[in-house]
Chain A
């Protein structure tokens, strides 16, 4: 079984300040981890993924995430948030050991609100 937890329903940050969106995961095998962003009434846009290699992954729009195996976390970060970063962010995991189709398990989502 696989699961993802996003402990914060909403994150508020002032423009220019660092942004962190938390994610922890649970898989029986080795995880593939993803971050997606969703704007109102739109589909999901891919931000970044961790498959293997460096624990720090850089993605689109200045976002990055750090894979921490011991803490089973994959927090999303951005050094300086923009108002346009306000959106719904989803963390997702795929258990590469047990799934060959690419099925993703999504977290509940975290609403990010960046104020001017």
Chain B
């Protein structure tokens, strides 16, 4: 089956620094990728939709200048958390759309801890 990877799986950073998270589709091309964040024991909240070669579309309430998304190729999307603060600590999950819009494959997630 289709595989989506995320790197790193876990990152700890100091407040004020920026962190980049990569999402890769390993064996398929993904024209659309999605970024979610998940707080402990809560549901996934869609942050943005990322389409290859165009600007990401952010959900209401998500700061585009804080959560920079780049979808430079059909197999790679990156999420950069700029000037991270402790409240940005969360589990970030990406998914990639393969083929039709009803098929998404999820990455294993990245645990971000901001001290």
B38-59: which have CB < 8 Å to A?
41-44, 46, 49, 51
**Residues of chain B within 8 A of A102, CB atoms compared:** 32, 34, 97, 100-104
B105 an interface residue at 8 Å Cβ cutoff?
Answer: yes
Task: Return the CB mask of B101-113 against A: 1 if under 8 Å, else 0.
Answer: 1111111110100
B84 an interface residue at 8 Å Cβ cutoff?
Answer: no
Task: Of the listed stretches A17-25, A61-69, A70-78, A103-111, name the one at the interface; the rest are far from the partner chain.
Answer: A103-111
The binding surface of chain B is classed by DSSP as strand
- The bracket for how many chain B residues form the interface is 20 to 34
B24 to A: closest C-beta gap in Å: 13
Q: Which of B49, B102, B109 contacts A43 (CB 8 A)?
A: B109
B residues contacting A by CB (< 8 A) are 4, 6, 32, 34, 41-44, 46, 49, 51, 91, 93, 95, 97, 100-109, 111
A residues contacting B by CB (< 8 A) are 32, 36, 41-46, 49, 51, 88, 90, 94, 96, 99-109, 111
